[in-house]
């Protein structure tokens, strides 16, 4: 053990356990909204319920709306919809309730896995307990209670146990073969980007198995023990899943030589580990009102990158040769290489700290341990920073939960709908129950989950840089109902209506103060 503390970890864990139970109960009372990524996953599930094969999303053909075509949706991992689907089927829950149960279980599994890993890594129980409390005070931990984020919460449930497995094995053997093989599949099932974490974990295990020998032969043998099941695991994932559709690594949009390509991954320990990116409403990709200008954001990220490097160096200096410092450095370097090349090639991966959350999780106990070794003034300063983070996280949760409770609509899916009001949603569901062979055109993927008996078309909201061809639908097939925000009435609405080339004589119905419905039945 690194330090001797009074045995208060049980009290800390009990209080945290009680708090997480309370948040879970509140989530069951008011189920969360849903991220677009998970919405598309549930649309795949919807298609499968309607007869499509595994992971196939049925879409209305733009060339003739009377026809459908199928797309294998490999952009995201299947776990984000299959886990809630299991609770939906076994317990008879709505998708919203099933997502809530998924979140509750994942949050407990994630905290338990991280605590076990931290203690296995050599931190005493108090440091480990304090670390998971700090993790639970981050906005990223509160987010699934407001928005079901699919792979994000699933990989949180698994990553601590994966790290524990990487550290528990000290020599090759059959158990290692099984762990490497199965962890690749389970990890990818939770989130497709687990592939880079998988590579980092196996590289750490290779170092761990071989660090006491200088013989190249032994390094090679240990590499085969890890490499063979890893190749099998990744090959099965690629053949059965990734090769069947497009994913973020499918195409590059050129090269980006901007500073942020490297600075953002370098700053990830603090951007993700202490919610700096979330508290700033996104330093690069803004998720709310813009707080800092691009120049200010650049300065902040560069400073956080330098400070992150210094902190990791200080941790490793305090824990020389310790397995924790090795796994921390390995994951940090691999994440920089993986995301650095992705950002450099302009792959479809956003500059958000959520992609680096695992670095923040791994970094936390080292930071707690490091601070505990310094004078009281530094510990008090760190405590004040944690309280500051907690204030913003709780503020985010309270305001969001009130909005979730009072400002969202709910239909048959049980999911909190952000982009429609209750009156408009009720009318849509009446139309859906009465109609056959109708087309419902919506501007949010989660809204399509409320349409149970007819086909749906999901369009992107209209912006200044739209691609006109994405909105054009030819042919005719039964009535079409197009839900729009009231502010679309006028130029935007005319653009959409003219994009449905097979229909004429659209009529307008005002559903509420905020939403309107255009409909047509006649062929042009």
Q: Long-range contacts for 143-147 (Cβ within 8 Å, ≥24 apart)?
A: 144/32, 144/103, 144/106, 144/107, 145/23, 145/26, 145/27, 145/32, 145/103, 145/397, 145/401, 146/32, 146/33, 146/396, 146/397, 146/400, 146/401, 146/404, 147/32, 147/33, 147/34, 147/35
Structure tokens at 278: 């979330």
290/302 Cα distance (integer angstroms):
19
Given a contact cutoff of 8 angstroms between Cβ atoms, the answer to whether 450 and 442 are in contact is no
SS3 417: strand
Predicted local distance difference test score (pLDDT) of residue 6: 52
Given a contact cutoff of 8 angstroms between Cβ atoms, the answer to whether 476 and 503 are in contact is yes
What is the secondary structure of 243-281 as a DSSP string?
Answer: GGS--TTS--------THHHHHHHTHHHHHHS-HHHHTT
SS3 63: coil
Compute φ and ψ for 56, nearest 5 degrees. -95, 130
Q: What's the pTM?
A: 0.93
β-pairing verdict for 507-510 and 515-520? antiparallel
Q: Which helix (H) or strand (E) holds 7?
A: none
Q: What's 461's DSSP letter?
A: P
360 half-sphere exposure, CB direction, 13 A CA radius? 28
Given a contact cutoff of 8 angstroms between Cβ atoms, the answer to whether 359 and 271 are in contact is no
From 209, 214, 215, select the one nearest 227 (Cα to Cα).
209
SS3 320: coil
133/197 Cα distance (integer angstroms):
23
Compute φ and ψ for 455, nearest 5 degrees. -85, 160
188/180 Cα distance (integer angstroms):
12
Structure tokens at 39: 């919405």
Residue 486: how many other CB atoms lie within 10 Å: 14
Given a contact cutoff of 8 angstroms between Cβ atoms, the answer to whether 390 and 76 are in contact is no
Which residues sit opposite 517 in a β-bridge?
Answer: 483, 509
Predicted local distance difference test score (pLDDT) of residue 467: 86
Given a contact cutoff of 8 angstroms between Cβ atoms, the answer to whether 260 and 298 are in contact is yes
Compute φ and ψ for 483, nearest 5 degrees. -85, 130
Residue 122: how many other CB atoms lie within 10 Å: 18
268/283 Cα distance (integer angstroms):
12
| End-to-end C-alpha distance for the chain, whole angstroms | 77
Give pLDDT tens digits along the chain (524 positions): 444 445 788 899 999 999 999 999 999 999 999 998 899 999 999 999 988 999 999 999 999 999 999 999 998 899 999 999 999 999 999 999 999 999 999 999 999 999 999 999 999 999 999 999 999 999 999 999 999 999 999 999 999 999 999 999 988 999 999 999 999 999 999 999 999 999 999 999 999 999 888 889 989 999 999 999 999 999 999 999 999 988 777 666 778 888 899 999 999 999 999 999 999 988 898 877 788 898 999 999 999 999 999 999 999 998 866 899 999 999 999 999 999 999 998 888 889 999 999 999 999 999 999 999 888 898 999 999 999 999 999 999 999 999 999 999 999 999 999 999 999 999 999 999 999 899 999 999 999 999 999 999 999 999 888 889 999 999 999 999 999 999 999 999 999 999 999 999 999 999 999 999 999 999 98
329/308 Cα distance (integer angstroms):
12
86/93 Cα distance (integer angstroms):
10
């Amino acid at each position: 053990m690194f330090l001797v503390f009074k045995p208060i970890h049980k009290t800390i864990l009990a209080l945290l356990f009680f708090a997480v139970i309370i948040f879970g109960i509140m989530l069951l009372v008011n189920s969360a909204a849903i991220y677009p990524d998970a919405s598309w996953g549930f649309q795949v599930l919807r298609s499968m319920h309607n007869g499509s094969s595994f992971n196939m999303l049925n879409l209305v053909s733009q060339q003739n709306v009377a026809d459908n075509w199928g797309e294998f949706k490999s952009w995201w991992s299947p776990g984000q919809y299959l886990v809630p689907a299991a609770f939906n089927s076994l317990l008879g829950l709505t998708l919203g309730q099933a997502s809530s149960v998924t979140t509750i279980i994942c949050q407990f599994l994630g905290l338990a896995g991280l605590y076990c890993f931290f203690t296995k890594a050599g931190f005493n129980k108090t440091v480990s307990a304090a670390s998971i409390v700090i993790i639970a005070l981050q906005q990223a931990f509160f987010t699934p209670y407001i928005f079901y984020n699919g792979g994000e919460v699933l990989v949180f449930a698994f990553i601590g146990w994966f790290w524990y497995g990487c550290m528990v094995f000290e020599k090759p053997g059959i158990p290692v073969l099984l762990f490497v093989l199965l962890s690749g599949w389970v990890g990818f099932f939770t989130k497709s980007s687990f592939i880079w974490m998988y590579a980092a974990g196996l590289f750490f295990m290779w170092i761990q198995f071989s660090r006491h020998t200088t013989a190249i032969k032994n390094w090679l043998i240990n590499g085969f023990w890890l490499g063979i099941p890893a190749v099998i695991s990744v090959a099965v994932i690629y053949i059965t899943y990734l090769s069947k559709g497009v994913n973020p690594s499918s195409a590059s949009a050129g090269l980006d030589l901007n500073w942020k390509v490297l600075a953002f991954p370098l700053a990830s320990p603090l951007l993700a580990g202490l919610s700096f990116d979330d508290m700033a409403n996104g330093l690069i990709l803004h998720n709310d009102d813009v707080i800092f200008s691009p120049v200010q954001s650049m300065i902040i990220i560069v400073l956080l990158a330098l400070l992150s490097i210094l902190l990791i160096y200080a941790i490793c200096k305090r824990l020389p040769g310790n397995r924790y410092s090795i796994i921390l450095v390995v994951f940090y370097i691999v994440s920089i290489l993986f995301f650095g090349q992705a950002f450099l090639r302009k792959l479809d991966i956003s500059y958000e700290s959520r992609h680096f959350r695992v670095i923040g999780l791994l970094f936390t106990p080292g930071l707690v341990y490091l601070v505990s070794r310094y004078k009281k003034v530094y510990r008090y300063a760190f405590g004040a920073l944690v309280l500051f983070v907690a204030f913003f996280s709780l503020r985010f949760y309270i305001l969001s939960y009130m909005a979730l409770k009072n400002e969202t609509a709910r239909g048959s899916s049980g999911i909190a709908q952000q982009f429609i009001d209750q009156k408009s949603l009720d009318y849509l569901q009446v139309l859906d129950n009465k109609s056959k062979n109708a087309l419902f055109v919506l501007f949010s993927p989660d809204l399509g989950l409320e349409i149970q008996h007819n086909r749906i078309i999901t369009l992107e909201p209209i912006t200044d840089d739209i691609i006109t061809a994405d909105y054009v639908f030819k042919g005719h097939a039964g009535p079409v109902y197009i839900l729009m925000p009231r502010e679309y009435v006028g130029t935007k609405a005319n653009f959409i209506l003219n994009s449905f080339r097979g229909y004429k004589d659209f009529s307008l119905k005002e559903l509420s103060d905020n939403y309107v419905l255009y409909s047509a039945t006649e062929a042009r």
